[in-house]
Every structure is written in structure tokens, then in C-alpha cells.
Amino acid sequence: MNEQIITVNKLTKQYQQTQASGITDINFSITKGDIVAIIGESGSGKSTLLKCIYGLLKPDAGEVLMNDKRVKGPDEQLIPGNAEMKMVTQDFSLNIYAKVYDNIASMLSNTDIKAKESKTLEMMEHLHITKLKDKKIIELSGGEQQRVAIAKALISDTKVLLLDEPFSQVDSLLKNQLRADIKRLAKETGLTIILVSHDPTDGLFLADQLLILKQGQLLQNDKPETIYQNPSDLYTAQILGNAVILTREEALQLGIKTAKQHVVFYPEWVELKSTWQSRRFEVKEVYYKGFYDELLLERNGVKIRALQLNSGEHKKNDHIQANIGHFLEF
């Protein structure tokens, strides 16, 4: 049976100085061992939510429960935070002049030196940083520092890891590796991870559960594939990044009638057909993506994007038929 580790009940936090900020009446729960991604535009309340979950911010109303126990706010304890949760922020909070090993080992007590050493080495193995053991933090790249910060956060029997923009410092190759490591860690250790990101692909690739925030409100809470296939609103479709969004007038130019303001679809929903006569598009650009191309198509002054799996099949300035077989209306 799925065991819930975190429950967020009617959580509200407003900042005094600003209007319509913070978060309002947020409700959701998290299953133990899941990766949850919180996605939303800048200022949508992602960090506020994360800090409330961790106990760094006192909510105005509502509560966060971890294993059915209320997470205490900063006014209720000497050291704000939660012993069973760890938060890795963008600045990593490492001792930059100390060695990697010492940074991680410093989290463990000296009562059993042998156990301390083996646990530290084991955690370094997990994060693929064994070869960096004797390097100082200041000598490491951003991505390497990030791995050390995660190792340090995990070593003291952490049950929930909170990551604020975990991939902001790394290039795309390293990002893919780190994402895969994080996913593996969660699955191997049963660790629950909550991450905040600007990049929707983090959520789509990594998460078991995706939360979409807008102006402090929780718009959608579901599996990434469900939200991707069925965004509940235009904002969600926009934030996921890849959707083609047409106004009603633009849609009409392509022969699509809608009573709503917008028509939304993904490039992969567009069928390219050579026999179908009525919707003729000109190929304006071909973007090579490796094993497929993304085509920029235009008809009656309206541009859409489509995928071509046979890379190179249609070229710039070709005229082709495209059928927008499935679309959403908002």
C-alpha cells in the first residue's frame, strides 16, 4: 500500500509587504519514495511552499504533516528546519576550503569513527564523487559541488530531500546525469524528494508527481504524463514549454473553429501527410534534433511546429500537408 509521508493541508502564507504573494490554500499529499516536482513561473510561490514544508517559514494558516506529525515553524524551535528533512539550496552551503570527504563526514558524530568513514565513502560512491574525495570544494565545478551538497544532505538518515533549483548550475550533459542519479537514489533508497524547478523537463523526466503553481495557487497536481497530455489551462500548457498556442483568429486561418480564446496542441500531435490536400503548409525552417526534426510550418501567415521522424524527409521551402488531428481549447 502507498504510504503517505507528507500532507499539506490548506497551507497559506502571505507576505505583509506585498499584495497577492506567497501561497494560498494549498492541499496535496506525497507518497513515500516519490519524486515530486513543483513547477511554476518566477514568483508563483515555489520557494515559499518549499520553505513552509521544511519549517523555515511559519504559515499564516494550514499545516504540513510529516508522518502525521505537524512540522514545526521557526518560532517553535531553536534551530529552524526538520531533522528528517534536508534542503539543498542553490548556494550549497558547503565549507569551500575543506575537502569533499570532510564536508560530508562532518554531518556524522565521532562516536564510531569506522562507521563514519564507511558511511561517508558509501555515500560518495552513490553520488559518483569518490574520485573527488581529497579535493577542496573551491576546486570543484558547480555540478560537482552540487553532488557533494546532496551527499552531505543525505548522509544523516534523511527521509525527505528538498531541492531548490537543483540543476541551475550544471550544463545539459551533467544535468541528464544528475537527474538520472537522483532518480536512481530515490528508487534505491526509498528517499522522498521534493524539487523546485523553472525547467519543466525536470518535472516531466524526473517526477512521479507534478505540481503546477500559479500566483500562489495550486493549479494541477497529477502524474507528469497526465498533466502533459491534458493540461487543465493555458498557463499549464505554456509552462510545460513545448505546446503550440494559437489565438482563435489564428486557428480559424487554419480551418479550426473554436468558441474559446486559444487552441493548443503539441508538435507530435500534428500528422504530416502527403495525400491530404486541404491544409497546405510551407516548411519555413527545419531544426535538426538528432533522431528527428522539428519543422516550423506556415499557412496563411500562421506558424505551427510539427515533428518529422524521418529526418530530412521534408526540406525548407517544401509544401506539405499537415493535419492537426487533436487539439485542446482554452
Ligand X SMILES: Nc1ncnc2c1ncn2[C@@H]1O[C@H](COP(=O)(O)OP(=O)(O)OP(=O)(O)O)[C@@H](O)[C@H]1O
Where on the chain is the footprint of ligand X (CB under 6 A)? 15, 17-18, 21-22, 40, 42-48, 198
CB of 276 to ligand X, least distance (A): 43
Helix (H) / strand (E) element for 42: namely: none
Residues 6+ apart with CB under 8 A from 235: 212, 214, 219
For residue 319, give the nearest of 267, 271, 266, 283 by alpha carbon. Answer: 283
For ligand X, the closer CB: 44 or 82? 44
Q: Rounded to the nearest whole angstrom, what is the least distance from the CB of residue 180 to ligand X in the complex?
A: 24
Kindly tell me which of 41 and 285 has the beta carbon lying closer to ligand X: 41
Q: Smallest gap, in angstroms, from Cβ of residue 42 to ligand X?
A: 3
Contact status, residue 7 vs residue 36, Cβ threshold 8 Å: no
| Shortest CB 207 distance to ligand X, Å | 16
Cell 499545516 sits on residue: 63
Which lies closer to ligand X via its Cβ, residue 55 or residue 267? 55
Indicate the residue among 26 and 170 with the shorter CB distance to ligand X: 26
The smaller minimum CB distance to ligand X, of residues 48 and 308, is found at 48
In the chain, the DSSP E strands lie at 4-13, 23-31, 35-40, 61-66, 69-70, 85-88, 160-164, 192-197, 209-214, 217-222, 244-247, 262-265, 270-273, 280-288, 293-299, 302-308, 319-324, 328-329
Nearest CA among 127, 180, 172 for reference residue 150: 127
Cell 570532510 maps to which residue? Answer: 102
User: In the bound complex, what is the minimum distance in angstroms from residue 51's beta carbon to ligand X?
Assistant: 8
* Residue closer to ligand X, measured from CB, 103 or 209: 209
Q: How far is the CB of 43 from ligand X (least distance, A)?
A: 4
